[in-house]
Amino acid sequence: GAGVSQTPSNKVTEKGKYVELRCDPISGHTALYWYRQSLGQGPEFLIYFQGTGAADDSGLPNDRFFAVRPEGSVSTLKIQRTERGDSAVYLCASSLQGAQDTGELFFGEGSRLTVL
């Protein structure tokens, strides 16, 4: 389909390992967001790209988390030295230009990360 695609859908890893999560946004959407959602909580903002650049990375919890979007389309969220507290569903969303006016983000189905 033409929606936001995220891979892998599930990832189980061991504490201390490195993880990459990929997001392929809707074609033509310049804005791309990463959120993470823990059980019983709402989505928590991590980072937002406008084109290739990170417009706002204020939600990244610490320097173990990093995200890139080198060609302004696909994005990768990278987590180093994973911790059990990183376990969550990582949601990617895209928007045609930005969410400020319409408030409409199109979310992918998420990547469920479990750190053992």
Site map 38..57 versus another protein, x via CB under 8 A: --xxxxxx--x-x----xx-
Among 21, 26, 31, 88, binds another protein (CB under 8 A): 31
- 100 binds another protein per the rule CB under 8 A: yes
CA distances from 48 to 2, 17, 43, 93 (A): 21, 25, 13, 9
Which among 10-18, 65-73, 74-82, 105-113 is the span making contact with another protein, rule CB under 8 A? 105-113
Which of 89, 84, 62, 79 has the alpha carbon at shortest distance from 18? Answer: 79
Minimum Å distance from CB 101 to another protein? 8
Cis peptide before 61 (omega within 30 of 0): no
